[in-house]
Amino acid sequence: MLRCSGLVHLIHLTRVCRRGGGAGMRLGSSWRWQLSRAMRLTLRWCRPHRGGRGGGTKPWISGRFLDLWSYSKLLLKSLYFNSLTNSDTLLDCAFEPVYWIVDNVTRWFGVVFVTLVILLTTSVVVIVYLFVIPMILSTYPVYWIIWHLCCGHWLLVMVVFHYYKATTTSPGHPPKDNIHIPSVSICKKCISPKPARTHHCSICNMCVLKMDHHCPWLNNCVGHFNHRYFFCFCIYMTLGCIYCSISSRNMFMEAYNAIESYYQTPPPTETYTDTTAHKSIIFLWVLTSSVAVALGGLTLWHVILISRGETSVERHINCKETKRLKEQGKVFRNPFHHGRMNNLKILFGVEKQSHWVTRVLLPSSHPPSGDGIMWDCIFNRRGPMAI
Ligand SMILES: [Zn+2]
Ligand SMILES: [Zn+2]
């Protein structure tokens, strides 16, 4: 067909060249030839399609256009087709720009949040040193002064130590040079094996061992190697805020009443130092009380999770599994649950009674038990996962 068409064109062209004497004639016949060629091609394209299955003749609309439609669909599918493609993948692709924006904003805001934590904590400590401790030293009996100085400084040391360690300690990542590690799946982003309890963090853009969550307040992922530091920071920060809130409650009431009197006529004769002290105490009490409530709730939630032997990510997965197995008449059992107290002991690294003091009540840099790749699973000893 193509050969015939080419031959016809060649003959036609030869005839046109023979007939055309001058340049003007050649130009005049050229556009006519182009027009006739275009018309012939259009007619040929619109001609009913012959052949195909059964050798029948199809109308051009159901032949040519359906062929074109199928070809376009095939072309489009060839651009994104994957045997693993499903509705979840398509939804992920559609929301990819949104995820990208959220991830980048969170990554950038991490630095702002860490600066905010440092600035607010420093401001609270400065206010306590400037106004609360002088009040305690001047009005409280000796044994209360000793208690306040010891308790306040112990909480301060614990908060600073655990915050520093939580932000600077890597949560732990699967080894990149060793692919022969016990794994449960392959990370489709890192294209590497994922050990049990490992999840991919889209903000850090890497897999994290025993990932709990990505914390913007630490600008770091919470995982196997810094989970204890994060949890202890939450506990001691909450205790520190409760301590500051209770210690300054009388001063807050005085400052609040004093500020109320600012608007009386005639206004009271307060010095600039008194006004600053009142405003600082109100700022201290409002901030520490709010953080104590908010962080206290978060800490309590993490106590529940840890005592169940779950991370924040596993909580969602385990809930789904529980529902799925329930529909099949089975009961889900968490393979990493070793008993409520044992789970807390494992996280704190408490192996003997004295460790409650040396590893929990005092700053300690001991590593967590295990490497985050191999896990002690209860079903290795007791039986199958779903019963
Ligand atoms: Zn990954
Ligand atoms: Zn992360």
Calculate the dihedral angle through the C-alpha atoms of 198, 199, 202, 207, rounding to the nearest 10 degrees.
Answer: 20
Q: Is pLDDT of 84 > 90?
A: no
Q: Which is the catalytic residue, given 207, 215, 221, 232?
A: 215
Residue with the larger pLDDT of the pair 37 and 269: 37
Q: Is pLDDT of 265 > 70?
A: no
For ligand 1, a single-atom ion, the residues with CB < 5 A are 187, 189-190, 200, 207
pLDDT digits 0-9 by tens, 38-74: 888 777 766 655 544 444 455 566 777 888 888 898 8
Q: Is pLDDT of 9 > 60?
A: no
Dihedral pair phi/psi, residue 225, rounded to 5°: -85, -15
Residue with the larger pLDDT of the pair 110 and 77: 110
Within 10 A of 90 (CB to CB), how many other CB atoms are there? 11
Tell me the pTM: 0.73
Residue with the larger pLDDT of the pair 27 and 369: 369
Q: Is pLDDT of 4 > 60?
A: no
pLDDT digits 0-9 by tens, 321-375: 999 999 999 989 988 999 999 999 999 999 999 999 999 999 999 999 888 888 8
Output the pLDDT for position 272: 73
Q: Is pLDDT of 102 > 70?
A: yes
Ligand nearest the Cα atom of residue 195: 1
Q: Is pLDDT of 386 > 90?
A: no
Dist. CA 184 → ligand 1 center (Å)? 13
Ligand nearest the Cα atom of residue 223: 2
Binned at pLDDT 50, 70 and 90, residue 197 comes out as very high
- Residues 375/336, Cβ–Cβ less than 8 Å: yes
- Residues 248/198, Cβ–Cβ less than 8 Å: no
Measured over the CA atoms of residue 297, residue 299, residue 300 and residue 305, the dihedral's sign is positive
Dist. CA 208 → ligand 1 center (Å)? 8
User: Which of 353, 344, 357, 352 lies closest to 227, judged by CA?
Assistant: 344
DSSP letters, 183-234, are -SEEETTTTEEE-TT-EEETTTTEEETT--EEETTTTEEE-TTTHHHHHHHH
What percent of the chain shows pLDDT beyond 70? 83
Dist. CA 242 → ligand 2 center (Å)? 29
Stretch 217-244: mean pLDDT, rounded? 96
Q: Is pLDDT of 185 > 50?
A: yes
- Residues 236/364, Cβ–Cβ less than 8 Å: no
Name which of 27-41, 151-165, 283-297 the model is least confident about. Answer: 27-41
Output the pLDDT for position 29: 61
Dihedral pair phi/psi, residue 206, rounded to 5°: -160, 165
Output the pLDDT for position 22: 43
Contacts of 324 (CB under 8 A, 6+ apart): none
- Give strand pairing partners of 332: 386
Dist. CA 221 → ligand 1 center (Å)? 13
Tell me the Ramachandran region of residue 164: left when phi exceeds 0, alpha when psi lies from -120 to 50, beta otherwise. alpha
Dist. CA 123 → ligand 2 center (Å)? 28
Rounded Cα distance, 24 and 1, in Å: 33
pLDDT digits 0-9 by tens, 202-228: 899 899 999 999 999 999 999 999 999
* Beta strand residue intervals within the chain, DSSP E: 185-187, 192-194, 199-201, 206-208, 213-215, 220-222
Binned at pLDDT 50, 70 and 90, residue 100 comes out as confident
Output the pLDDT for position 208: 95
Output the pLDDT for position 226: 95
Output the pLDDT for position 268: 66
User: Which of 168, 163, 164, 211 lies closest to 187, judged by CA?
Assistant: 211
Ligand nearest the Cα atom of residue 221: 2
Q: Does residue 319 have an active-site annotation?
A: no
pLDDT digits 0-9 by tens, 149-181: 999 999 999 999 999 999 999 999 998 887 788
- Give strand pairing partners of 220: 215
Binned at pLDDT 50, 70 and 90, residue 78 comes out as confident
